[in-house]
């Protein structure tokens, strides 16, 4: 199925109207995975970053990246001290980008096997759908993002098996979505932080700025 170019011009419009006034503060959940690579890429693109290991460190963030890793390990850590509830509340309100295991954590439905999740993004995800570590791959495919084909690095990747009506599909692998957006939420089954291509992180930062722009004047949350 071909990828249609994105028709959402509100992102660039909102981003351009706020970029000169505010530098977004984006958190990166720093429990496991290559969280530093995400932070470095965001900083290169002009954002401020904060590594997040405690619920209180979500305070004041404009957006959040949930990186790859092992989703069951994430869950064990997040079950401490009400972190899961704090993170769920954040993802319901603020721009959030989940990659690989982060995509699984955002999903409303998780299978192969089933497990708990934040449940804030209306997608169904199958864990380890493309095999184990030695089945990892680097592929290029069409994308709705401007600039030509997108490089995607897959490591023990999940598969997005179901998306809700109105979900924007920005890239696919063998017909299955690999990069999807629902409102202020973005999810990828691959690792954009391991590619030299910065377009996915730039797209997310534009989403963050759009969400900042849409808040009522005088509010910080």
Q: Name the percent of the chain lying above pLDDT 70.
A: 85
Query: How far is it between the farthest Cα atoms of the chain?
Result: 50
Residue pLDDT, tens place only, 117-174 = 999 999 999 998 776 655 688 999 999 999 999 999 999 899 999 999 999 999 999 8
**68-99 core/surface letters (b: 16 or more CB in 10 A; e: else):** bbebeebbeebeeeebbebbbebbeebbbbbb
CA distance 211 to 216: 10
CA distance 12 to 206: 7
32, 34, 39, 44: CA torsion to nearest 10? 180
Q: What is the pTM of this model?
A: 0.87
**How does residue 221 score in pLDDT terms, banded at 50, 70 and 90?**
low
pLDDT at 44 over 90: yes
Instruction: Please tell me whether residue 114 adopts helix, strand or coil conformation.
Output: coil
Complete domains list, the chain, with CATH: 10-214 (3.40.50.880)
The pLDDT value recorded for residue 3 is 61
Classify residue 205 as exposed, middle or buried by CB count within 10 Å of its CB (0-12, 13-18, 19+): buried
Catalytic annotation, residues = 100, 191, 193
């Amino acid at each position: 199925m071909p990828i249609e170019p994105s028709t959402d011009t509100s992102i660039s419009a909102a981003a351009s109207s706020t970029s000169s006034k505010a530098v977004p503060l984006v958190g990166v959940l720093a429990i496991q995975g290559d969280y530093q690579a995400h932070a470095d890429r965001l900083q290169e693109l002009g954002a401020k970053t904060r590594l997040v290991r405690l619920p209180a460190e979500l305070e004041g963030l404009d957006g959040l990246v949930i990186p790859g890793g092992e989703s069951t390990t994430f869950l064990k850590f997040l079950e401490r001290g009400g972190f899961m509830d704090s993170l769920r509340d954040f993802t319901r309100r603020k721009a959030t980008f989940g990659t690989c295991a982060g995509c699984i954590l955002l999903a409303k439905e998780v299978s192969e096997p089933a497990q708990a999740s934040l449940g804030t993004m209306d997608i169904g995800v199958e864990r380890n759908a493309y095999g184990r570590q030695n089945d990892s791959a680097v592929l290029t495919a069409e994308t709705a993002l401007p600039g030509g084909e997108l490089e995607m690095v897959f490591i023990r990747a999940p598969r997005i098996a179901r998306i809700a009506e109105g979900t924007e599909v920005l890239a696919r692998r063998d017909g299955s979505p690999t990069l999807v957006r629902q409102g202020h939420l973005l999810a990828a089954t691959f690792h954009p932080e391991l590619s030299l291509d910065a377009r996915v992180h730039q797209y997310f930062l534009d989403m963050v700025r759009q969400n900042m722009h849409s808040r009522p004047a005088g509010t910080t949350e």
